[in-house]
Amino acid sequence: MSISNKKRVVIKVGSSLIAPQNNGCSSHNLLAIAQFIIKCRSQGKQVVLVSSGSVAAGRKWFDTQTMTVALKRAMAAAGQSDMMEVWDKLFDFPTAQLLLTNDDIRNKERFDSIRDTIEALLEHHVLPIVNENDTVTSDDRKVGDNDNLAAMVASSVDADAFIMLTDVDGLYDKNPQQHADARKLTSIEHINDEIYAMAGGATSAQGTGGMRTKIEAAEKATSHGIDTYIVDGFDPKSFEQLTSGFNPGSHFLAHAKPMADGLHWMTHSVRECGEVVLSEPLCESDDYQDGVTSARIVSVKGEFSVGDTILLRDDEGNKIAKAKVNYSSCLLNYLADDDIRSRLDKDSSLLHNSIISDEHLAVLENS
């Protein structure tokens, strides 16, 4: 399937394209990408650009071999303005910078606000350029890579195509640099463990993402009904093929029955703070709010507060659901003790109230 009939496209550009020497921005590889974006807009498509590379772009201003967290943030701050300037020079229409954090993604109000802002920009023919805000985020609060960030952005704006531009021309069944008989997968209908095994765990020299993060991003996007492509951004012919209706890379097919928005956000965008293991799985007919009481608790993992998101598992390790929790991990550890529960009044709300909230609840397939 081509992008010819797509109306809203999210394009993610990797660091290796922005800063090929890992030491400052270069427009060398970006001209063909910019021309592709211009062509898409001329065809009536709305485009959102997710651009990595601020750290690599800013590195040229810092004469040091030692990388600290503060220095990396400083490089991102210096490089972000350089990167935006390069993009601005390639277009004759206005652009807008959006710097996001993981907190923006996992907070539903802020997530919806991102969508509304991008919608307004697109309505007024402004090109949104999105990046993670590396100047303020700590490693434990980061989305982590722009592949997954771009997939979340694509989902938030209901894109119908998501294109990841990188330094390879798709997913292969084995490493093509090591195996001459490696075969490129041009069409992938289901993302499973076998697909992840093909991806391996390598990352590029400039960025934080590798093929595995691209598969993760494809899984997020396709489950929301978005056709996803991995394409060689260094080869100008890739863009000629895309605009001509051909697939130059690997195409991950959109799910025929996409997840609902709220379920998708909870499943793919919200990071769980801990886990609660239950003594028995919940039946499909069970009311989750009435069914998940403290009597079911086998163990509690991690530290979390009221309102945090937790993962529920059965005692065989299968994932059951993700949900907002009504009690802290400290109190749930207390209630998990059979002796403690036996000493509570039998009518105590601690015994009968659900430990999870129905504010946000995602029932998961066992995995």
The confidence score (pLDDT) of residue 204 equals: 45
What's CA 102's distance to the chain center, in Å? 10
Confidence label for 205 from pLDDT (cuts 50, 70 and 90): very low
Give 247-280 pLDDT, tens digit per residue: 999 999 998 887 777 777 777 777 788 999 988 6
Dihedral over Cα of 328, 139, 166, 123: its sign: positive
Instruction: Locate the domains of the chain by residue range.
Output: 8-264, 272-363
Q: Considering the entire predicted model, what is its pTM?
A: 0.80
Annotated binding-site members for ATP: 12, 166-167, 208-214
The confidence score (pLDDT) of residue 352 equals: 72
More confident residue, 106 or 306: 306
Q: Which of 136-140, 254-258, 363-367: highest mean pLDDT?
A: 254-258
Annotated binding-site members for substrate: 52, 134, 146
Annotated binding-site members: 12, 52, 134, 146, 166-167, 208-214
What is the arithmetic mean of pLDDT over 19-35?
87
Confidence label for 102 from pLDDT (cuts 50, 70 and 90): confident
CATH of domain 8-264: 3.40.1160.10
pLDDT at 207 over 50: no
Highest CATH level, class, for 272-363:
mainly beta
Both tokens assigned to 101: 């954090």
pLDDT at 124 over 90: yes
**Cβ neighbours of 180 (radius 10 Å):** 7
The confidence score (pLDDT) of residue 342 equals: 77
The confidence score (pLDDT) of residue 208 equals: 43
